[in-house]
Structure 1
C-alpha cells in the first residue's frame, strides 16, 4: 500500500524520461492516422477510389491520381496535397471535416523532412479496408503474455512482484519507492479505498492494537469481507455499465421500477467474489443458461436472469415513441456499453463507416450487432415493460388464492353486518316520523331509485335521514361504523400477506425466426445492404490464434446461443482485451489513474500504458488467481 503515492510520481517523471529529441515524423505513426480520420472514406477504404487517388501508402501518394502526384518529397510547397488541404478544397464537406492547422503542419513537415516510413511498404495492397502492420502490432490486440518481473538494485523493500515493476522504472529515473505511511493514515486509506468509508472507532482500536506480523494483511481481509466492499466496488462496475434508475430519455425520464435488482446482483457478486469470467458470462448470456419456460424459477435461475440487466442499462425511449429509429438507438447504445465496459474500445465509431482510428471495419460493428440482435429484434420489438419476467410461482398463486378466499369470507361478514346496521339505523329514523307516513317512508326506501314516484322523492328529500347508507352510517351510529371498519381492516391485513408480485428486468430471445443482420449504408437504417454473420472483431483473428466466427444458431439450446458463445470466447483466458481492461480499471480505482489512463478506450486514440509489462503481468496473475477481484485487491493493497 506504500505505492499509493507512486502513480502521481510516475506521471511527473514521464517528461524526464523523454528529454531526447523527438523522433522524425513517419507515415505510419503520424500521417496515416490523419488520412484515416479524414480521407480514407474516399481515398482508401473503398472499392471505388475518387479521382483515382489512394492515400494508404507513401508510394501511392507519389504516384498520385487523375490530377497528378500528390506529394513531391522534400518540397511541400510543390505538393498538390498541401495545396488542396490548405485551401480547404479537401476534404470536402463541412468545416468539421477539415484538417486543423496542426494536422496540416504535420503533413507539411513530413514531406519536407523526406516523407519517411517506419518500414518498407508492401508490394501489393488489396482494395478496401486492409489491416496494416501497425494495426497488427498494436499493443492492445497482442496476446497477453506473462513477463518476467524485472530485477532491481534495491530489493530490501520489495513486498511482491508489483513493487519490482514500479521500482525498476523508478530506479531508471533515479528515484525509489515512497516511504511507508503512518499506521493511522494507512488504515484511513485502506477503508476509504475498499469500502468508501472512514474507519470506525472500533476498527481503529483493533488495527492499532494489532502490532503482530501480518496485521496489515488481516486488516485487508476484514475489509474485503465487509458487505460495504461490494457496495463500493460494485458501484465502479455499475458506472462502467451505465446503470441508472430511470430511462434517461425525454423530459419525463420514466423510472425503471425493477432496475435495482440488477444493482443488488452486482453488489452481491462482488461480495461473493464471483470469478470475473463467470461474472461476465452471466451478464451477457444468463438467460441462455436457463431453460424455457421462465416459470417457477429457482433462486439460481432468478440470479442468472437478473444478470442480463447489464444489457438493459442503455437508455430506452421506445415506451414513449416506439419507432424504428429509437429501437435502433437502443441497440447502438447497448453495443456502446458492452464494448467500452468489457473490451475497452469505441466500437460504436464504426456504425456509419470504418473506424477512423482503430482497425475496426464497419462490417465488424454489424457482426457484433448480430450477436445481440436476436434478443433486440427490431421487427419484433419489446418495449421496456415487455422485457420483464414475473417471479410469481404456482405456489405463490395457490397461496394468494387461499388468502383471497379467506378475505372474501371476511368481506361477506362485513357486508352482512353492514346491512343489519343500516336497517337498524333506518328503523330508528323512521320511528321518529309521524306514524301516518312511516309506511310510505318504508315503501319509498324499498323502491328502486329510478322507479320512485315524485311523492316518494319529495318524502325522502324532506327527511334526509331516511337515506342512511354505508357511507353515512357513521353519522347515526359511530359504534357500528367502527365495527365495520375493524372488520374491513382484518380483510385488508389478510390480503397484505399475499406473496408479492415482483419482476426482474431481463434481456431474452424470442423463439421463432432469427433476424438477419445487415450492414446499414452510412449507418442509415433505411439503407440495409449485405447480410453478415455474428463474430468477434476481425483484427483479433490477425493477432491471435483464437477462432473469431461464432455459431449463427446453437441447436443445443432454446436460444441462438450467440451471446453465450461470444461470452465464452471473451472469458477463455486468451482474449487480449478482457483481462487488461478489468485489471486496468481496478488499478485506476485504487490509485486514481489507470496504467493505461483511458480505461474505456485502449485503442489508438487512447493513451498508451505507462507500465505495459506490469499491466500484462497483472492480467495473467488475475487469471492464475481464478479471475478473483478480491485477490487482485489483496495483491495491490499489500504491495
Structure 2
C-alpha cells in the first residue's frame, strides 16, 4: 500500500518540482536586482561587453570566448559557473556590490537554464491584449473568474462575504474617504433588496465626496502644494488646479481626456480657461526666486521635474534615472531622456520668479472650476440671512459691555511705569543690516529700504523684575529713501509677534512665543484698527493716524515676564510689503501696571462715557455698529458673514493659477553631460523612447505627446491607471511597484487580470467610475478580511486574494473620520487651502526667516469653519507639511510621490491622544453620543462603538467600555473646573446642554473609541 501511495502522488511531485520558470516573473527580477547594473542597458556602465537583458548577447561568446548562457546546458553556461564560485575575485556578483545571490535565486537561474533559458520581452512594454475570461463554475464576475482560477492553482478558495456593516464601511471609505453614518449603516444592514449593494455603490459614486476621495492619490503624484519649496518656501496660489481635478473625477471625465488636458490643455484647439487650469499639473513643481540661483539651472531643474513626474505618475517609468547616463535597467538612453525633456522645456518662464506671494509666470486669472450660478445664488441668500441676523440689536448685551469698558477704563494707567529696553540688534530677511542705526537712546532709525519684516532683539531693563508688557513707540522721521515717517504717509503693520529667552538672541533661537492678552494703540485709522493684528488676513492691518506726535502700540502679556528668568526679548514687526511705507524711527519700552491706552477708538469711548440720554442718534448707531464688530456675542455671526463673503468672492472673482504656455521662441534642448545644465552636448528634438511605439508625427509637440500617451497602442498608460485604481480598493496594486513598471518593477500577481482590466478600461472610453464599480462589486472585494492563522502563514500579504483587503486608513481619512463622526466636518467642496491646528509656530523654525505675506513664514491659524474642512484642503507647506498628517505618512510633496509608505510609530498614538483636532473631535463626538445614543449608558456606549466600527460591540468590548466610563465619571464627578479644563481643547465652545463633568467623562471614552485600531483601519 505504501508503494501504491507513492506511485499515486509521484506525478504531482514531479509537476511541483518541474514547474516552468518564466523569465519575466521569475528570472528578470533576479537579474535586474543583482546583474543589470553592470550587464544591462547602460553601455557606459557595462562590463566585459556582456548584456544579460537580451538573449542575443547572453547567448553569444563574450570577450573571454565563453558563452554566458547556453540554453539547456548548465555546465557550459559561464553564468552558472561564476555565481557558484567562492573566490572573491571571480564570483558574480562581485562582493563589492553587496548584492549576493540567495540559494533560492541561484535555483531559479539553474532551473531556467535547464528549461531552455527562454527570454521574454518585458511584460509592461508589450501592448496588452484582452485575454479570455476564465470559465470557473459558479463565477460570473470577470474579476472573480481570474482570481478564482489563481486560487484553484494555489489550492485556495474565496472567503465568505464580509458582514454588511463592515462592507458598507469599507466601500464608503474607499469611494468617499468618509465613514458611513450610523443611520446609513443601519439602513443598509436591514435592507433586504438583492440589489442593495449595487444601489449603495451607485449612490457613493454619485456622492459629491467621491471626487475628493479619488483625487487624493493624484495630489501626491502631482506634487500639489501651496508653497514654492526650496529654502524660502513662499506661498503660491494653486488651489484652482486641485479643484479642477476634483471636478474631473466627480464628473467622470474620461481618463484619457484627464491626462491630455493636464499634459497639453494649453495646446488644444480653442482651449478653454479650464483647459489652461488643467496644465497647472505641470507647474506644481518647486520654484525658486532666491538670489544667487542661476535661472538656466532652475529651468533645467523644472523641466527635469516634469519629465520625472510624467514618467512616474502617468506611464509608470523611472525616466529620471536616464538624466545623467543611460538607464541601468530599462532601455532608455540619455538621448531618449532629453528628447522627452524637450517636450517640457519650451515654457515661457524666466527661471527666477514667484516672489511677493504671487505666482511665477506664466500664470493667468481664472474662475473657480467648481463655481455654478446655482451655488452663487445659494451663498447670496445665506449671506442675506446672516447679515440680517447680525443687524439685530442686543440691548442688554450692549449695556453690559459698556459697563465693562467703563470699569476697565477706571483703572487705565494705574501704576503704569515704563523703562526703555536696550536694543541689541535689528535684522530683516532682506539683509542690509547697515540700513538700521541704533541710537544711544536705543531708538532705531531706518535709513531707506522697503523692508517687510524686522526682528528687534532687546534686553529688558535691569530696574524691572516683573514685566507686564512692552510698548513700541513710533516717532516722526524725515523722509529718507523709501523710509517714510507715519506723519507723511502712514505705514500698515500686518503682524506683531514676541518671544523671550534666557539667552541673548543670536546665540540661540528661542522660538518661544509669548502669549499676548491685549493689543492696544494710541490711535488707529478707519479701516485699519488695532484689532486687525489678531486676524490671519495679512491684507489688512493696523495703521496709526497721521500727525506730528509720536504714536505707539502696546502688547500686554497674558502672564507677567520675570526678567531674572528671561532677560532677553525679541519682537517681530511685519509691515505691508511693497507699500514703501515703513516707520522711520521707533523704540521699545517695557512697562508694569495697567496700560494707559485703549483698544477702542476715541470716538467710541466718547460715546460710552456720555450719558445715554444725551447721546445723539448718530452716536448711538456708531456705538451699536462698533459693538457688533467687536463683541463676543456677535462673534459667530460675524464669522459666518465673513466666511460667506469669502465664499462669494471665491465663486464670483478670478484667481491666479500657474499654467503652461509655450514660448514664442522655443528654447533649444541639448543632451547635458552628466545632466549638468552648463555642459550641453548635441541638440535634440522632442521625441519618445525607442522601445515604445513611435510618435505619429515629427516634429512633435506636447499635444502630440499627450495623444500618444493615451493611444490604444501604448502599453503602459492604461495598465498603470487600473493598477492604481486597484490599489485604492485593495491597499496594494496587482503590481506593487505602482510607480515603476520597468525592469525593476514587481511582476503582477495576476498579470492576465491586469491586462484584461487595462483593455476593458480603454474599451469603456476610459470610464473611471465604471472601473471602480467593477472592482468594488466583485466577490474578491467583498470578502471578509479576517482569516485563520494557517491562511495567514500561507499568504501573509494576501497576494492571491483569498480574503478581503485590510489596511490602515490614510492620514487624511483618519482626520476626516474623526471630524465626521464628531459632527464637526464642514463638507463644502473646493476653495482656497486652510490653516488648521498646528503646534506652535513651526514654520518659523524651518523657514528662511522673514514673516511676510509673500513668504508665508509665520503660521497664522484660521478660525471658524475653516478648522473643520476636509484634510485635502489643508494648507500644504513643502518644508513642513501638516504635522498630524505627516505623522501618518503623508509626503512633503517636494517631488512626485506614487504610493505612500505605511509606518507604525509612537508619534501616531500621541497625535490621536493629544492633537487639538482629535481631542476637540472627541468632545464633540461625546456630545453626539449623549444626544443620539439613547437614554442609558449601555445604549450610548454601543452607539459610539457602532459609529466608528459599523458593528455592535461584543460582551468583552462592552465590559471594557463600561469600566472606562465608570473610571472617567469617578475622575470628573464633583470637579467641574477640572472638567472644563479637559474640555478646553479646540476653538469651538463647550456645549451648554450637558453638565461639564458628564461631557468630560464621555469625551475620554469618545477619545478611546477614536483611538481603536479598528477605527483607524479599513477592514
TM range (shorter): 0.5 to 0.7
Summarize the alignment of residues 292-371 of structure 1 with structure 2, pairs less than 5 Å apart. Answer: 301-319=272-290, 322-323=293-294, 324-371=296-343
Aligned to 2:89: 86
RMSD (Å) for aligned C-alpha atoms: 4.5
1:529-569, Cα deviation, whole Å (9 max, x unpaired): 1122212221013xxxxx3264436xxxxxxxx11111111
Q: Which moved more, 1:315-324 or 1:109-118?
A: 109-118
Q: CA deviation at 1:287?
A: 1.1
Distance (Å, rounded) in 1 between the aligned partners of 2:171 and 2:109: 54
Q: Which runs of 5+ in 2 are unaligned?
A: 1-14, 52-56, 70-74, 368-477, 479-544, 550-600, 608-615, 627-641, 779-1019
Q: CA deviation at 1:223?
A: 0.6
Match of 1:506 among 642, 659, 670: 659
SS, match of residue 218 in structure 1:
helix
Return closer, same or farther for 1:27/1:145 CA change in 2, 3 Å cut-off: closer
Check whether the contact 1:535–1:550 (CA below 8 A) recurs between aligned residues. Answer: no
Q: CA deviation at 1:205?
A: 3.9
Return closer, same or farther for 1:112/1:593 CA change in 2, 3 Å cut-off: closer
Match of 1:147 among 131, 155, 163: 131
Match of 2:675 among 495, 516, 523: 523
Aligned to 1:419: none
Q: CA deviation at 1:210?
A: 2.9
Q: Tell me if 1:219 matches 2:200.
A: yes
Check whether the contact 1:74–1:114 (CA below 8 A) recurs between aligned residues. Answer: no
Normalised by the length of structure 1, the TM-score is: 0.66
Return closer, same or farther for 1:549/1:501 CA change in 2, 3 Å cut-off: closer
Match of 1:233 among 203, 214, 219: 214
Distance (Å, rounded) in 1 between the aligned partners of 2:105 and 2:771: 45
Q: Which moved more, 1:530-539 or 1:206-215?
A: 206-215
Distance (Å, rounded) in 2 between the aligned partners of 1:567 and 1:282: 8
Q: CA deviation at 1:60?
A: 6.1
Aligned to 1:4: none
Q: CA deviation at 1:148?
A: 0.4
Summarize the alignment of residues 215-614 of structure 1 with structure 2, pairs less than 5 Å apart. Answer: 215-250=196-231, 252-256=232-236, 258-289=237-268, 301-319=272-290, 322-323=293-294, 324-375=296-347, 383=354, 384-391=359-366, 474=602, 478=606, 500=653, 502-511=655-664, 513-541=665-693, 547-548=694-695, 550-552=697-699, 562-614=701-753
Match of 1:176 among 149, 157, 170: 157
Check whether the contact 1:54–1:60 (CA below 8 A) recurs between aligned residues. Answer: no
SS, match of residue 193 in structure 2:
coil
Distance (Å, rounded) in 2 between the aligned partners of 1:54 and 1:508: 45
SS, match of residue 509 in structure 1:
coil
Q: CA deviation at 1:163?
A: 0.8
Aligned to 2:384: none
Distance (Å, rounded) in 2 between the aligned partners of 1:612 and 1:315: 36
Q: CA deviation at 1:216?
A: 0.8
Q: CA deviation at 1:181?
A: 1.7
SS, match of residue 671 in structure 2:
strand
Aligned to 1:64: 64
Aligned to 1:620: 759
Check whether the contact 1:519–1:529 (CA below 8 A) recurs between aligned residues. Answer: yes
Q: CA deviation at 1:593?
A: 1.2
Q: Which runs of 5+ in 1 are unaligned?
A: 1-16, 121-132, 292-299, 393-449, 451-468, 542-546, 554-561
Match of 1:161 among 142, 146, 150: 142
Distance (Å, rounded) in 1 between the aligned partners of 2:167 and 2:140: 16
Distance (Å, rounded) in 2 between the aligned partners of 1:110 and 1:624: 38
Check whether the contact 2:298–2:352 (CA below 8 A) recurs between aligned residues. Answer: no
Q: CA deviation at 1:351?
A: 0.7
Check whether the contact 1:311–1:507 (CA below 8 A) recurs between aligned residues. Answer: yes
Return closer, same or farther for 1:228/1:391 CA change in 2, 3 Å cut-off: closer
Distance (Å, rounded) in 2 between the aligned partners of 1:514 and 1:505: 19
Return closer, same or farther for 1:117/1:351 CA change in 2, 3 Å cut-off: farther
Check whether the contact 2:289–2:352 (CA below 8 A) recurs between aligned residues. Answer: no
Distance (Å, rounded) in 1 between the aligned partners of 2:765 and 2:240: 26
Distance (Å, rounded) in 2 between the aligned partners of 1:224 and 1:604: 36
Check whether the contact 1:170–1:176 (CA below 8 A) recurs between aligned residues. Answer: yes
Distance (Å, rounded) in 1 between the aligned partners of 2:352 and 2:718: 34
Return closer, same or farther for 1:172/1:334 CA change in 2, 3 Å cut-off: same
Distance (Å, rounded) in 1 between the aligned partners of 2:656 and 2:160: 52
More strand by share: 2
1:607-631, Cα deviation, whole Å (9 max, x unpaired): 1101111111111111222211110
Distance (Å, rounded) in 2 between the aligned partners of 1:33 and 1:77: 17
1:454-493, Cα deviation, whole Å (9 max, x unpaired): xxxxxxxxxxxxxxx976995899579979989x99xxx9
1:507-537, Cα deviation, whole Å (9 max, x unpaired): 21122x2122111122222221112221222
Check whether the contact 1:366–1:519 (CA below 8 A) recurs between aligned residues. Answer: yes
Q: CA deviation at 1:189?
A: 1.2
Check whether the contact 2:299–2:351 (CA below 8 A) recurs between aligned residues. Answer: no
Aligned to 1:636: 775
Aligned to 2:98: 100
More helix by share: 1
Distance (Å, rounded) in 2 between the aligned partners of 1:23 and 1:591: 28
Return closer, same or farther for 1:623/1:177 CA change in 2, 3 Å cut-off: same
Aligned to 1:128: none
Aligned to 1:462: none
Distance (Å, rounded) in 1 between the aligned partners of 2:156 and 2:84: 47
Q: CA deviation at 1:372?
A: 1.1
Q: CA deviation at 1:40?
A: 5.9
Q: CA deviation at 1:217?
A: 0.7
Distance (Å, rounded) in 1 between the aligned partners of 2:62 and 2:141: 54
Return closer, same or farther for 1:585/1:536 CA change in 2, 3 Å cut-off: same
